[in-house]
């Protein structure tokens, strides 16, 4: 299992993949917004999203968990 973390302080702008969705390595799971820029959180491996740690409009800190892919 891989836990994906926020690369910077940001706000969750969009949930692209939901729990149970299959993702390929490099595919967007969540899009964050930081200083008016979109910052994608990308799958680090092929698998299935097993948990989302965030919801839209939530403020999150750098290195905070965003999603689990198994």
**pLDDT, tens only, 5-14:** 999 999 999 9
State the pLDDT confidence band at 50, using cuts at 50, 70 and 90: very high
The C-alpha atoms of residue 48 and residue 61 are separated, in whole angstroms, by: 24
State the pLDDT confidence band at 16, using cuts at 50, 70 and 90: very high
- What's the confidence (pLDDT) of residue 60? 98
What residue segments make up the domains of the chain, in order of their start? 2-69
Among 8, 3, 4, which residue's Cα sits nearest to residue 61? 8
Question: What is the CATH T-level fold of the domain 2-69, as seen in this structure?
Answer: OB fold (Dihydrolipoamide Acetyltransferase, E2P) (2.40.50)
Mean pLDDT of 64-68: 98
Among 57, 67, 55, which residue's Cα sits nearest to residue 3? 67
State the pLDDT confidence band at 1, using cuts at 50, 70 and 90: confident
Beta strands (DSSP E) in the chain are 2-5, 10-15, 22-23, 28-34, 37-42, 47-52, 59-60, 65-69
């Amino acid at each position: 299992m891989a836990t994906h973390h926020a690369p910077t302080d940001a706000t969750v702008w969009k949930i692209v993949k939901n729990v149970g969705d299959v993702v390929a390595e490099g595919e967007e799971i969540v899009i964050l917004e930081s200083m008016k820029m979109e910052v994608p959180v990308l799958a680090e491996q092929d698998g299935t999203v097993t948990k989302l740690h965030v919801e839209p409009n939530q403020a999150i800190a750098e290195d905070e968990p965003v999603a689990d892919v198994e």
